[in-house]
Structure 1
Amino acid sequence: MRIQDDTPDTGTGGLSAESRPGSPPAQERTPPSDAPTEPEPDPPGEPPEPPEPFSTTGPIDVRTLTRVLFERLAELPAHAPEREQVRAALIEVNIPLVRYAATRFRSRNEPMEDVVQVGTIGLINAIDRFDPGRGVQFPTYALPTILGEIKRYFRDNVRTMHVPRRLQELWVQVSGAMEELTVTHGRTPKIPEIAANLRIPEEDVRACLDAGRAYNAASLEAAQEHEGGLALLDRLGYEDSALTDVEHRDMVRHLLVQLPERERRIVILRFFANLTQSQISTELGMSQMHVSRLLSRILTRLRSGNSWEE
């Protein structure tokens, strides 16, 4: 005997219990209309994510995302709250462009994070001034603005000494040529090699190298580790007051060797030992008058520059 069930089947095949032999009839359970519905709980350990108007991650490349963000920025009114979110997303997306520009200045003795912050200011200015309707890619427009902001920072805030603008611009070429020649030759390039590579005089290369060292001034009282802890002030030279008498001393020494032993001793006792004529006479066992006559004759000969004749 066959029993037919009028209850509809809720299976995925769309077949009733009559068309599927051997299958038990499905029962449909419908909750009452007045029963409250509970929301599904969040997965454990994963806090709910706040909705974001724009995502800066994903398979979309930076150029496409930048173009979309600029299109959205152009559609928004001037005082719309969403403009700041779109502008912040544009800054975040193009930060790698700022880091790329900052690597050109890695040879400068300046923290890279400071250079990136200055370049970010140039990026913000480029975002505010960019017009997508001109058909120019944003990186092409923004890179000169970022580099200009970084160069202005080095020109106005980093250098201790003022360097002419011509040398500042030439220093960029010289530093680039030094890096290229270092990779090519495997050593630090020499000044003639740099000058030949850039086709500029060697004097300009030397001036650029001196200008490149003008970023930071060292204190005269700062201790130098490679000099045994001595300060730069302790190693500076000074003007010797006796330097002008070197030629005179050499001439006197040349004339003294030509004097006889007794006269040479008289001159040494009088002018080097600072003895009086009375003390010299006692030392040599002669009268003071004789010592005076000998000194007068010796000095006359020395002043004339003639050799001694006995």
Structure 2
Amino acid sequence: MTVIVDTAVETDAATSTDSAGELITAMAALPVGHPSRSQLRDRAIEAWLPLARHLSNRYANRGEPRDDLYQVAVMGLIKAVDRFEADRGVDFAGFAVPTVIGELKRHFRDKTWSVRVPRRLQELRLAITAANNALAHELGRSATVADIAAHLGISEDEVIEGLEGARAYNSTSLSTPISDSGTELGETLGGMDSGFEEAELRVALGPAMATLDEREQKIVSLRFYGNLTQSQIADQIGISQMHVSRLLTRALAKLRKQLGAAAI
């Protein structure tokens, strides 16, 4: 159905919609392609910005910059303006508030965790936090795990799981000083220990050496355990240095083959 609005009516509408609610109603009454809708939309968003500011301030002091939260709230407000349908019988504020709050909660759920955890744990953390605050006021003391479990109707193990998952919300930089001497957290972390790999190789080396004949075993032992040169080995065994080189190459090829098979 096409709605025709003459210039005089448009001018009257623009001047009479002074309140934020009237702006939304006037915009919603126009079809999507109407030339006046875009201007009314911008004015409606601007008129309702204080609501976005108010709702974003509810979530201040939770580790996120106020300006970032305000921007998220504005995005929620824009979605509310674009999706609002006046004929549903709900006033705009009643529609916009949960839309903006939903956007803010989604921001905290999806953007502020240092380590990604399942959504179930994220939502469980929020429920535990809310329950803890409510119980502290009700009981006049800090709530126990059992108190929270009973309040939420879940097991104590699930509460503990939620509390453990909450640790992923914030992380500590490896550059954080942990002592007066300037030692950083990253310096206390262990490095790669080659000893484990070397121990595995020693275990596999015994059976691999057993595949060599007696002379090959002796040459390998003199070269790598006795630290003799090929010339010294040749003099000790009574063969040429060139022959030692060929036997050593053949022995090492056998060992590599055996050790490779063991690794597989």
Q: Could you say whether these structures have the same fold, taking a TM-score greater than 0.5 normalized by the shorter chain as the test? A: yes
Q: Report % sequence identity.
A: 40
Which of 90, 94, 118 is the matching residue for 2:48?
Answer: 94
Instruction: Specify which of 83, 89, 110 is matched with residue 156 of structure 1.
Output: 110
Quote the offset at 1:184 in angstroms. Answer: 3.8
Contact 2:115 2:168 in 1 (8 A): yes
- 1:132 pairs with one of 71, 82, 86: 86
TM-score by length of 1: 0.48
Q: 1:221 aligns with which of 144, 163, 175?
A: 175
CA gap of 1:157–1:54, structure 2 versus 1, over 3 A, is farther
Give the helix-richer structure, 1 or 2. Answer: 2
Shift of 1:170: 1.9
**Structure 1 pair 214/107, CA: closer, same or farther in 2 (3 Å)?**
farther
Q: Deviations over 1:184-237 (max 9, x none)?
A: 45554333332232222222222222333323322223214xx54542234557
The CA distance in 1 between the partners of 2:108 and 2:53, in whole Å, is 16
SS state of the match for residue 182, structure 1?
helix
Q: How many angstroms does 1:127 deviate by?
A: 0.4
Matched, 1:233 2:186: yes
Deviation of 1:181 (Å): 2.8
Call closer, same or farther: CA 1:80–1:160 in 2, change over 3 Å.
same
Match of 1:123 in 2: 77
| Closer/same/farther in 2, CA of residues 184 and 238 from structure 1, 3 Å limit | farther
Structure 2, unaligned runs of 5 or more: 1-13, 194-264
The answer to whether the aligner puts 1:202 opposite 2:156 as a matched pair is yes
Q: Which moved more, 1:158-167 or 1:189-198?
A: 189-198
- CA deviation after TM superposition for structure 1 residue 119, in Å: 1.7
TM-score (norm 2): 0.55
State the superposition RMSD in angstroms.
Answer: 3.4
> Does the 8 Å CA contact 1:73/1:87 hold for their aligned counterparts?
yes
Report the AA paired with residue 205 of structure 1. Answer: V
Secondary structure of 1:220 counterpart: coil
Counterpart of 1:122, as a letter, is G
Q: Does 1:177 align with 2:122?
A: no
Q: How many residues align?
A: 180
Instruction: Assess, with a 3 A threshold, how the Cα gap between structure 1 residues 75 and 141 changes in structure 2: closer, same or farther.
Output: closer
1:107 deviates by 6.3
Matches within 5 A, 1:106-121: 106=60, 108-121=62-75
Moved more, 193-202 or 127-136: 193-202
